[in-house]
Chain A
């Protein structure tokens, strides 16, 4: 009988390395023991990072991918361990982020018997992954790993889960590490093909437009289409607005850039959407945060939609011309057929709106989050990799931290997962060790995953962790103030710990900002400290609201640019 050279777990680790996985974030446990042992016995370059909670591991892999474009691995045990990555999977799936998540599992003969730490994670996560596997044969491992990495990173990226029973990872492996994939239903190379006729139609529609608008989304970034978008916008002399996840694909400080559109986007970007005669969507899925009321969105405009995923075309907004495929190859073709448009008047109109409805905040009345973020932007020259958590601070960061480069803005868009900020920054710091990484959180989200401060300290990651602390769940409080007659319910974060003392208890440095006058001084000191992570707690005013605002389900025309004077009806849409 052929002698086994290794067990399934060792084959797994070897295959992950062969497929280009360089780092795994994880937390051990019984069902995953063979794999953890393999990380010790196999001579591998893969770095393993022990976290403090499986959710932290998932968000770290997510932040790593958002900053580098490469997938990381997540390794957790069965049952509750696997359960704790569910939110992280959802976060990645909603924003099309590649990652490979390996869950240890009970032995195959105990499946379905409510065994210790057994959970049907394959079943539970079906709607939250791009694809998943339950491995039932040790010999399958190389094929499964190869397929998993391939699926996660090609076409529209997404997370892939592999459920690995303990007897499979412990079993002897006899086969070859180099195996063929078997994916007859998956053809990502077809994304590089597209209908040239559609591109010609788009060029023709553009040539007739006097008030065009480019909407740049995450898909443009994932395609690496930065140069193509620049060429398109500057040749046409066409203004550009970006989605939350599209920040940085077109420089936000460029004259043609209107900033983010949508629920808390700039007023001038939203006005541009309302008044444009043509909207060219590159790689955005027309999410409900940006379209307001679906049947009113761009109703007078010719709508063009470029997307790699056919199911996104017409899902929210029916385009007049579509082109399915990779944004980079499509724009390369489109750029051959366009010429400058006469947009002088249009740009002047938009400039007028920019002057009439600028972003800003009232300087009086205490320390404002907007001020801190703006100062951070100035001190870092807009060059940091910035991760945010979720809430008011996230919207202000999107407005005031202007991104000129892609791959530097890490924010949970589709899922809006609180707790994302700190672990995502940690993942990015591992992926980009020579870059400045800043995490911006509110006090609510920070308290959901702050235990990962330990991970940052152990690895001496020089992350700047900014906690914008208003002792409230600010975004929900804003909604209750505007739509529920200021009846506050479940938003008062009394009993917050002293975040600086908390940081110090983890063995790291902490700073407080208590007054507007301290902002520059403290931020500068924090930015100069690079011996490890540093936390900055900024005590901000308790009740400040994010404007502009478009209530959920309302049309973009109904945008509020300042606090309303009359009582507002409850929004039709969900949060």
Chain B
């Protein structure tokens, strides 16, 4: 239902979202990202989001890839990505108990009459206002995909100028490395 508000950060439930979240641990070298993207592109798979940055050990990077497609093809993709020499580990974290968050920036038009309501919505979702002008605001929100979707839904009553999302970063719960 549009505008459903989730106040707690819950993991994505199976069946609710078809997108799969892959966490890939790779050598931090030029060309690695291109090689991995190529494995998807070749099979006609769309990468919808991708986050990558250096891991704690700077020789390696952690990549989180959001991709949607046929589940049996996805198994093959995971194995092909794992086969790459620069990939140390590739795992599908869509259905397990992991922490999954993303960040979004939303710029929308708002005047002094509506600003109060905008701020109320923002407070509910725990956003930070990172830009403020006479006629516009930029909100920064973090949380799971459901929460970000919900906030964007609530803000749609204003004229949204643009929005940008990072895509998910994922980490397994517990004391073991993802």
Contacts and interface: CB of A to CB of B under 8 A. Distances in A.
Contacts of B79: 310-311
Interface stretch (A63-71, A182-190, A474-482): A182-190
Contacts of A186: 85
A433 interface: no
B44 interface: no
Contacts of B132: none
Interface stretch (A126-134, A263-271, A438-446): A126-134
Contact of A185 (B26, B38, B42, B76): B26
A131 B38 contact: no
A183 B83 contact: no
B87 A185 contact: yes
Contacts of A309: 83
Contact of A123 (B34, B75, B82): B34
Interface string B16-41: 00000000001100110011001000
Contact of A134 (B30, B38, B59, B85): B30
A314 interface: yes
Contact of A131 (B30, B34, B80, B85): B85
B34 A184 contact: no
B88 interface: yes
Nearest to B57: A184
A314 B77 CA distance: 12
Interface residues of B, number: 21
B80 A185 contact: no
A185 B27 contact: yes
B85 A311 contact: no
Interface string B85-124: 1111000000000000000000000000000000000000
Query: Closest 7 CB pairs between A and B?
Result: A311-B79, A185-B88, A131-B85, A186-B85, A185-B87, A126-B38, A311-B80
A131 B35 CA distance: 10
A131 B79 CA distance: 16
Interface residues of A, number: 18
A314 B83 CA distance: 15
Given A311-B76, A311-B83, A315-B76, A134 B31 contact: yes
Nearest to A314: B75
B84 interface: yes
A122 B80 contact: no
30 contacts: A122-B31, A123-B34, A126-B31, A126-B38, A127-B38, A127-B42, A130-B85, A131-B84, A131-B85, A132-B31, A134-B30, A134-B31, A151-B85, A183-B85, A184-B27, A184-B60, A184-B88, A185-B26, A185-B27, A185-B85, A185-B86, A185-B87, A185-B88, A186-B85, A310-B83, A311-B76, A311-B80, A311-B82, A311-B83, A315-B76
Nearest to A310: B79
Interface of A: 122-123, 126-127, 130-132, 134, 151, 183-186, 309-311, 314-315
A132 B34 CA distance: 12
Contacts of A122: 31
Contacts of A132: 31
Nearest to A132: B31
Contacts of B27: 184-185
Contacts of B88: 184-185
B34 A126 contact: yes
B80 to A, nearest CB: 5
B85 A126 contact: no
B130 to A, nearest CB: 35
A161 to B, nearest CB: 11
Given A311-B76, A314-B75, A185 B31 contact: no
Contacts of A131: 84-85
A183 B82 CA distance: 14
Interface string B55-69: 000011000000000
Nearest to B26: A185
A433 to B, nearest CB: 34
B32 to A, nearest CB: 10
Given A134-B31, A184-B27, A311-B82, 4 more contacts: A126-B35, A126-B38, A131-B84, A311-B76
Contacts of B30: 134
With a 10 A CB-CB cut-off, give which of A126, A131, A151, A183 has the most chain B CB atoms: A126
Nearest to A311: B79
